[in-house]
Amino acid sequence: MTEIMLRDASRAHGLNYVILRYFNVAGADPQGRTGQSSAMATHLIKVAAETALRLRPKLEIFGNDYPTPDGTCIRDYIHVSDLAAAHALALQYLREGGAPLTLNCGYGHGFSVREVIETVKRVAGVDFTVEDAPRRHGDPACIVAASRRIRDTLHWQPRFDDLSTIVAHALDWERRLMTRFPRGARNLAEIA
């Protein structure tokens, strides 16, 4: 709906815009300044990192019978810092008079749920409980960004297109949260 509204405003009032379609944003600032701190997050990499750090008792895989190599969903994970860079490039494009544009923000390849879990276990150096659960209604087997347009138009060059790096940054952030907030408080609302 927001995309339709932006297109309408552009036609009616000459508003230029860049729509950035996010895929699965993950990781954290490599310098540890920021990261996801929402309570009860459902994003796989955050949930797996919390499980590796014993903040959750287990991780559930929702569906293991998809038409993928290992039966679990495949998703395109993008590092939050690469997404931030895409925003800066989009702003520069608009400041230079760029025409309205819609771009996918992803790497153009994906990883299965099981591949992500195994990467988290390897990078964290721990094993944790993983259980199969029923599929969630409406989950498609595979979602991967067609990202050639953002690369060509904005000359976007990802710096963190590596699942192990994304996971390492997410784990580092989760460790910082554990030491920063008392008794498991996971976000500002819980601390206030």
Cβ 106 vs Cβ 144: under 8 Å: yes
pLDDT for 191 equals: 42
pLDDT for 192 equals: 39
User: What does the block give as tokens for 19?
Assistant: 């729509």
Residue with tokens 């459902």: 42
pLDDT for 181 equals: 73
Burial class (CB in 10 A: 0-12, 13-18, 19+), 33: exposed
pLDDT for 188 equals: 45
Question: What residue ranges of the chain have pLDDT lower than 50?
Answer: 187-192
The model's pTM is 0.90
CA distance 124 to 103: 33
CA distance 127 to 168: 15
CA distance 5 to 25: 24
* Rg, Å, the chain Cα set: 18
Domains and CATH numbers, the chain: 16-183 (3.90.25.10)
pLDDT tens, 134-164? 999 999 999 999 999 999 999 999 999 999 9
Burial class (CB in 10 A: 0-12, 13-18, 19+), 71: middle
User: What does the block give as tokens for 94?
Assistant: 């608009």
Closest among 35, 10, 157 to 88, alpha carbons compared:
157
pLDDT tens, 13-27? 999 999 999 999 999
